[in-house]
């Protein structure tokens, strides 16, 4: 009888060991902050967040950050120690709940801003997550998105201009990835940002044109004197020498005799 009981107990133990562990809901809050600025939120179309198992590639969750850009004073002005939360109530975020039965190495990828695809960049990171140990405190899982938004507004794409010589005005709107404005003497100072157009004619280097702050928020402009017909491409970039943050946009235009 004792042998039978022992055998039964061993069988039950082995059966229990064979059962999969119960999944535990585990929350992850992802926030994406613009390099040198604020959170990227609804006003810029949000950021696409993808959550995967870093080892298997299994897609676990996806969605977009939603909310505002955060408290300007808290993020940009107030003194804070490393580890202090930058986010405030309503600051843009994406939250997913994963059902985890065991610790998993998770990869989070952020792509955006979605409202300015020509400026969109991607940033990702991996981290171990233990079932039941949510990542929601403070700023949650915080990713920093590099770049600046450059949107060439003039000349119009593929416009055909007639007559040489002529002055072609190049204009661009430049903001931080969160949409935060750049202006002379402002929190994001136009005087400290280098904006320039790199020009090509018929695929060959034609020169460079510095774009100056045009007196209106985030507006930069300059005039290029065209003396030869051809197909021109202007690559306009914005560069912050303080941290190397860079963004750019392209436009093409044609000039006929």
Residue 13 clears pLDDT 80, i.e. is over it:
no
Do 44 and 116 lie in a common domain? yes
Residue 84, pLDDT > 70, answer yes
Residues 206 and 173 in one domain: yes
Joined tokens for residue 70? 């955060």
pLDDT, position 164: 85
Which residues share a beta bridge with 221? 171, 212
- If asked whether residues 184 and 83 sit together in one domain, one would say no
pLDDT band for position 80 (50/70/90)? confident
Instruction: Tell me the average pLDDT across 180-206.
Output: 96
1 part of a folded domain: no
Say if 232 falls within a structural domain.
yes
Chosen domain end from 145, 179, 202: 145
- Same-domain status, 163 and 249: yes
Q: Looking at the domain assignment, is residue 152 inside a domain?
A: yes
Q: What integer pLDDT is reported at residue 9 of this predicted model?
A: 53
Q: How many domains does the chain have?
A: 2
pLDDT class for 85, splitting at 50, 70, 90? confident
Which residue, of 145, 178, 195, is where some domain finishes? Answer: 145
Percent of the chain, pLDDT > 90? 82
pLDDT at 16 over 50: no
Tell whether 46 and 118 lie within a shared domain: yes
User: Do 223 and 240 lie in a common domain?
Assistant: yes
Question: Domain residues for 91?
Answer: 22-145
Does 7 reside within a domain? no
Q: How are strands ordered across the β-sheet holding 24-34?
A: 94-100, 24-34, 141-145
Say whether both 127 and 159 belong to one domain.
Answer: no
Average pLDDT of the chain? Answer: 92
Res. 40: pLDDT tops 90: yes
What number is the average pLDDT over the span 99-106? 97
Predicted model pTM = 0.85
Where in the chain does DSSP place strands (E)?
Answer: 24-34, 48-53, 59-64, 94-100, 104-112, 121-129, 141-145, 148-154, 159-162, 166-176, 194-201, 204-210, 212-213, 219-226, 230-240, 245-256
Q: State residue 214's pLDDT score.
A: 97
3-state SS string for 177-221: CCCCECECCCCCEHHHCEEEEEEEECCEEEEEEECEECCCCCEEE
Whether 113 and 97 share a structural domain: yes
**Rounded CA gap, 11 and 126, in Å?**
40
Question: At residue 41, does pLDDT exceed 90?
Answer: yes
Higher pLDDT, 127 or 166: 127
Predicted confidence band of residue 70 (pLDDT cuts 50, 70, 90): very high
Q: Please tell me the predicted confidence (pLDDT) of residue 5.
A: 54
Beta strand segments in 113-165, E? 121-129, 141-145, 148-154, 159-162
Is 70 exceeded by the pLDDT of residue 88?
A: yes
> What does the pLDDT look like over 114-153, one tens digit per residue?
999 999 999 999 999 999 999 999 999 999 999 999 999 9
Q: What is the pLDDT of residue 36?
A: 94
What integer pLDDT is reported at residue 92 of this predicted model? 97
Structure tokens at 135: 């990542």
pLDDT above 80: residue 167: yes
Among 115, 145, 175, the domain-final residue is 145
Strongest mean pLDDT among 45-49, 80-84, 87-91: 45-49
CB-neighbour burial class of residue 107 (10 A; exposed 0-12, middle 13-18, buried 19+): middle
């Amino acid at each position: 009888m004792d042998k039978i009981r022992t055998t039964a107990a061993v069988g039950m133990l082995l059966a229990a060991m064979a059962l999969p562990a119960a999944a535990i809901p585990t929350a992850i809050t992802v926030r994406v902050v613009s390099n040198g600025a604020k959170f990227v939120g609804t006003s810029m179309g949000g950021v696409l967040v993808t959550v995967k198992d870093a080892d298997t590639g299994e897609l676990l969750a996806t969605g977009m950050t939603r909310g505002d850009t955060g408290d300007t004073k808290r993020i940009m002005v107030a003194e804070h120690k490393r580890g202090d939360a930058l986010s405030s109530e309503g600051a843009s975020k994406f939250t997913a709940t994963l059902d985890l039965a065991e610790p998993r190495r998770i990869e989070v990828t952020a792509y955006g801003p979605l409202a300015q695809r020509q400026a969109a960049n991607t940033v990702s990171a991996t981290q171990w997550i233990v079932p039941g140990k949510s990542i929601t405190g403070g700023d949650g899982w915080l990713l920093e998105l590099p770049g600046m938004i450059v949107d060439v507004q003039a000349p119009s794409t593929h416009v055909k201009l007639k007559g040489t010589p002529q002055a072609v005005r190049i204009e661009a709107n430049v903001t931080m990835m969160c949409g935060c404005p750049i202006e002379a003497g402002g929190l994001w100072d136009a005087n400290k940002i280098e904006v320039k157009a790199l020009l090509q004619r018929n695929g060959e280097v034609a020169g460079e044109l510095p774009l100056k702050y045009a007196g209106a928020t985030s507006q930069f402009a300059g005039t290029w004197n065209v003396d030869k017909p051809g197909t021109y491409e202007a690559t306009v970039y914005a560069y912050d020498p303080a941290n190397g943050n860079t963004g750019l946009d392209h436009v093409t235009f044609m000039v006929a005799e």
